[in-house]
Amino acid sequence: MPSLTLDFRHGLFIGIFAPENQVVNRRYSDRMRKELRELWRFRELLFTLVERELRIRYKNSSLGFAWSLLNPLITALVMTTVFGLFMQQGGIKSYGLYVLAGYLPYLFFQFAIMDSAQSIYNALPIVKKVYFPREILPLAAVLSNFIHFLLALGALVVICVGVWAAYGDLPLKRTIVFVPILMIIQLALVTGLSLMVSALNTFYEDVKYIVSVLLYLLFFLSPVLYFSEQVRDAPTANSGLLFNIYHLNPMAALCTGYKKLLLDNAAVPDRKGGTLVPLEMNWSQVGVAALFSLAVLWIGYVMFNRMKWRFVERP
Amino acid sequence: MKPAIEIRDLHKHFDLSHSGVASIKTALLWFRKRRIERLEVLRGVTFTLNQGETVALVGRNGAGKSTLLSLIARVYKPSSGTIEVNGRVAPLLELGAGFHPDLTGLENIQFNGVILGLTRKELAKRVDRIVAFAELENHIDTPVRTYSSGMMARLGFAIAAHVDADIMIVDEVLAVGDFAFEEKCYAKIEEFRANGGSILFVSHNFESIYRVADRCIWMRNGVVAMEGDPHQVVSAYREAGE
């Protein structure tokens, strides 16, 4: 049989279609299992890197952890002022808490991906000299940002308790116990995307600029500053369809999920000065996001493994 | 007993691009015009490093010595052929290889030690010995970028010498320290050999080859040109005018 070999290796999708040139007679799943075992063998390195990132983040400034919370807190403050005073979100009680409940997960998403994008490129001098599983670099960026996210969520709970002490009603819901499910889904999504972006950015240094623009746009397409009830209430003929399409974005489903599981339903004003019917937690949206995230994780991991040996031979 | 390193018919080629900076923009702009040049660095290398043996590599720049060491260190993947390594490898490639310039000496010891396969517990026990060996007690808390080349070489050697590797691969670093440190390195190498460790090293210093090597391999244009007794190989290499 004549065979046609396409060599895309130096085209746009460098490495994705690169032929595996070692040990071809091994099954694909076996190879993946071997890569995962190798990763486990180097777990100490992963922990060391995560520890290092966190130390740099918290110890290099005298304010430490508080300093790193300043960005989300100030953002929430500004948003509360702007949207509360000038726009229709005004009447919502503790609007700032709802912003934070969506913004903290979004920040984790954004920072983890942007940090990973640079992780391999910045470590190239080391990558060119010593062996270790390369996926450790983006994984360390993801994990350190995840730990930071956990701490920030803890701070949000503390703020809620503060609200309780001051006003007498606790804005938190018991469904907070389901939040780890969302975290696991988001971790899968973020890891998959980080693997893709870090690998691509190593070959094409402009990938990180493209990604930062996409992340900026996705922020507005996720319900951080507004509510899923308002998406449902969009003044179009097919608002139901739009609502479903909107929540195909896994970050939209997750942000809504965090808000619903952490905080009581907000009394969201509609266009005519009334109040929108609150939507309950929608697990099927989260389920779709979970499937999507797992697919992204799998594709990201496969892609990364295909490309990782070529990082050092970057043309 | 299995050999420490067994290499069979090893090939390695690199694809060099002349289109400049790597970005999606250039990839699109140069899609038709791009020139890819294939550089064959290794063209069928076969040799064995036995356990407890010290082998020196000689050859001109570009003969493929460093690529070979990098392949053994698993930085590159072979184009074809096999490398079988039995034991823990401590690679010592070039000056300050694998150091992060902004981290302090101590942090680099931790980072490098873990990369070389030590756990953090094992490492904690060795840090003092490593620092003492490198004679860097006064500088260990300053960033590595402030180090002189001699200091970096000392730190690199000290770490590699204390990870309890079975195989050391060394890329011409021993000539950087001062005389006293060089002697210390030789003493450590002797100790390492006495304990059954294997060494593969690149050197342009014939004295050091005569001093430690059991065998010498001369590489030329990506193949093994000659291997055997260090004195014979080195004199053949010198006669070839290289």
| pLDDT category of residue A126 using cuts at 50, 70 and 90 | confident
**Which of A31, A130, A203, A205 is the best substitution to test chain B (most B C-beta atoms within 10 A)?**
A130
Mean pLDDT of A45-63: 79
Q: Please determine, for residue B175, whether its predicted confidence score (pLDDT) is greater than 70.
A: no
Residue A197 is predicted with a pLDDT of: 96
Question: Distance (Å, rounded) from C-alpha A315 to C-alpha A2?
Answer: 31
DSSP B171-195: ES-TTSS-HHHHHHHHHHHHHHHHT
| pLDDT category of residue A105 using cuts at 50, 70 and 90 | very high
Mean pLDDT of A92-103: 85
> Given an 8 Å threshold on Cβ–Cβ distance, is A203 in contact with B75?
no
> Given an 8 Å threshold on Cβ–Cβ distance, is A12 in contact with B24?
yes
Mean pLDDT of B123-127: 90
Partners of B104 in beta bridges? B143
Q: Please determine, for residue B178, whether its predicted confidence score (pLDDT) is greater than 70.
A: yes
| pLDDT category of residue A278 using cuts at 50, 70 and 90 | confident
Nearest-Cα distance to chain A for B240, in Å, is 31
Residue B177 is predicted with a pLDDT of: 63
Q: Please determine, for residue B18, whether its predicted confidence score (pLDDT) is greater than 80.
A: no
Residue B149 is predicted with a pLDDT of: 81
Residues of A in contact with B88 (CB under 8 A): none
Listed residue (B48, B54, B43, B78) closest to B220, CA to CA: B43
Among chain B residues, the shortest Cα distance to A14 is held by B27
Nearest-Cα distance to chain A for B235, in Å, is 31
Tens digit of pLDDT for each residue in B40-92? Answer: 889 989 999 999 899 999 988 888 888 898 899 888 889 999 999 888 888 77
Of B16, B100, B107, the CB nearest to A126: B100
Among chain A residues, the shortest Cα distance to B35 is held by A10
Q: Please determine, for residue A233, whether its predicted confidence score (pLDDT) is greater than 70.
A: yes
Question: Distance (Å, rounded) from C-alpha A274 to C-alpha A178?
Answer: 31
Around B228, how many Cα atoms within 13 Å sit in the side-chain half-sphere?
A: 9
Nearest-Cα distance to chain B for A9, in Å, is 10
Residue B34 is predicted with a pLDDT of: 61
Residue A6 is predicted with a pLDDT of: 36
Cβ atoms of residues A247 and A229 within 8 Å: no
Residue A90 is predicted with a pLDDT of: 61
Mean pLDDT of A109-131: 89
Question: Distance (Å, rounded) from C-alpha A307 to C-alpha A301?
Answer: 10
Residue A14 is predicted with a pLDDT of: 36
Question: Distance (Å, rounded) from C-alpha A116 to C-alpha A213?
Answer: 16
Question: Distance (Å, rounded) from C-alpha A186 to C-alpha A181?
Answer: 9
Taking the CB of residue B225, how many other CB atoms lie within 10 A of it?
17
Residue B33 is predicted with a pLDDT of: 61
Nearest-Cα distance to chain B for A86, in Å, is 42
| pLDDT category of residue B31 using cuts at 50, 70 and 90 | low
DSSP A24-65: TTS-HHHHHHHHHHHHHHTHHHHHHHHHHHHHHHHHSSTTTH
Residue A294 is predicted with a pLDDT of: 96
Mean pLDDT of B94-110: 77
3-class secondary-structure state, position B97: coil
Most confident of A124-128, A220-224, B139-143, B208-212: A220-224
Q: Range with the lowest mean pLDDT among A197-206, A267-276, B69-78, B123-132?
A: A267-276
Q: Please determine, for residue A236, whether its predicted confidence score (pLDDT) is greater than 90.
A: no
Among chain B residues, the shortest Cα distance to A136 is held by B115
**pLDDT > 90: percent of chain B:** 18
Q: Range with the lowest mean pLDDT among A19-33, A135-149, A195-209?
A: A19-33
> Given an 8 Å threshold on Cβ–Cβ distance, is B75 in contact with A132?
no
Residues 130-169 of A with CB under 8 A from B: 130-132
Among chain B residues, the shortest Cα distance to A208 is held by B23
Q: Please determine, for residue A9, whether its predicted confidence score (pLDDT) is greater than 50.
A: no
- The CA angle B16-B222-B215, to the nearest 5 degrees, is 145
Nearest-Cα distance to chain B for A19, in Å, is 11
Q: Please determine, for residue B32, whether its predicted confidence score (pLDDT) is greater than 70.
A: no
> Given an 8 Å threshold on Cβ–Cβ distance, is B24 in contact with A45?
no
The answer to whether A19 faces chain B, any CB pair under 8 Å, is no
Residue A119 is predicted with a pLDDT of: 92
Residue A141 is predicted with a pLDDT of: 95
Residue A214 is predicted with a pLDDT of: 96
Q: Please determine, for residue B223, whether its predicted confidence score (pLDDT) is greater than 80.
A: yes
Structure tokens at A102: 């969506």
> Given an 8 Å threshold on Cβ–Cβ distance, is B75 in contact with A44?
no
Mean pLDDT of A93-116: 91
The Cα-based distances of A7 to A15, B70, B146 in angstroms read 10, 26, 45
Residue A129 is predicted with a pLDDT of: 80
Residues of B in contact with A205 (CB under 8 A): 21-23
> Given an 8 Å threshold on Cβ–Cβ distance, is A130 in contact with B80?
no
The answer to whether A21 faces chain B, any CB pair under 8 Å, is yes
Listed residue (B63, B82, B66, B67) closest to B10, CA to CA: B82
Q: Range with the lowest mean pLDDT among A76-85, A246-255, B62-71, B121-130?
A: A76-85
> Given an 8 Å threshold on Cβ–Cβ distance, is A205 in contact with B19?
no
Nearest-Cα distance to chain B for A274, in Å, is 50
Residue A4 is predicted with a pLDDT of: 36
| pLDDT category of residue B10 using cuts at 50, 70 and 90 | very high
Tens digit of pLDDT for each residue in A149-198? Answer: 998 898 888 888 888 888 877 888 888 899 999 999 999 999 999 999 99
Q: Please determine, for residue B163, whether its predicted confidence score (pLDDT) is greater than 50.
A: yes
Residue B128 is predicted with a pLDDT of: 92
**pLDDT > 70: percent of chain B:** 89
